[in-house]
Structure 1
Amino acid sequence: MAALLIDSPDIITLLGGGEVNEACLDAALIHAPRVVAADGGADAALTHGLRPEAVIGDFDSLSPAARAALAPETLHHVAEQDSTDFEKVLQRVRAPMLLAVGFLGRRLDHQLAALTALVRHPHQPCLLLGADDIAFAAPPEIALDLPAGTRLSLYPLAEVTGRSEGLEWPIDGLAFAPAGRIGTSNRTTGPLRLSFDAPGMVVITPPEALDALLAGFAALSSARAR
Structure 2
Amino acid sequence: MSHEDIVISDRPVLMLGGAVTEAALRVVGGLLAEPDLAGAPVVAVDGGARLAISAGLTPQAVIGDFDSLGPDEAAQFDPATLHRITEQETTDFDKALRSVRAPVVLGAGFHGARIDHHLAALSVLARFPDRHCILVGTEDVTCLCPPELAIDLSPGDWLSLFPLAEVQGTSSGLEWPIDGLRFRPDHRIGTSNRVTEGRVRLQMTAPGMLLILPRRALRPLLAALSRSGARWPARAG
Tell me the distance in 1 between the aligned counterparts of 2:226 and 2:77: 33
Tell me the distance in 2 between the aligned counterparts of 1:34 and 1:22: 17
CA contact (8 A) 2:25 2:55 kept: no
Map Cα deviations across residues 90-136 of structure 1 (whole Å, 9 max, x no partner): 11110011110000131100000011100110111110000111010
* Superposed displacement of residue 194, structure 1: 0.4
Structure 1 position 220 matched with structure 2 position 223:
no
* Superposed displacement of residue 48, structure 1: 1.2
Aligned residue for 1:209?
217
Aligned residue for 1:5?
6
Percent identity, aligned pairs only? Answer: 50
* Superposed displacement of residue 158, structure 1: 0.5
Deviating beyond 3 angstroms after TM superposition, the runs of 4 or more aligned structure 1 residues are none
Unmatched tracts of structure 2, length 5 or more: 232-237
- Matched letter for residue 205 of structure 2: D
Computed over aligned residues only, the root mean square deviation of the Cα atoms, in angstroms, reads: 1.3
* Superposed displacement of residue 65, structure 1: 2.0
Alignment of 1:98-117 (within 5 A): 98-117=105-124
- Matched letter for residue 57 of structure 2: L
Map Cα deviations across residues 23-82 of structure 1 (whole Å, 9 max, x no partner): 321232233332100000001101111111100001111122210111111000001111
CA contact (8 A) 2:25 2:51 kept: no
Aligned residue for 1:16?
17
Tell me the distance in 1 between the aligned counterparts of 2:171 and 2:30: 28
Aligned residue for 2:235?
none
Alignment of 1:52-63 (within 5 A): 52-63=59-70
Unmatched tracts of structure 1, length 5 or more: none
Instruction: Describe the SS at the equivalent of 1:112.
Output: helix
Instruction: Describe the SS at the equivalent of 2:43.
Output: strand
Q: 1:181 aligns with which of 188, 196, 200?
A: 188
CA contact (8 A) 1:103 1:128 kept: yes
Aligned residue for 1:26?
29
After the TM superposition, which of the residue ranges 15-24 and 209-218 deviates more from structure 2? 15-24
Aligned residue for 2:202?
194
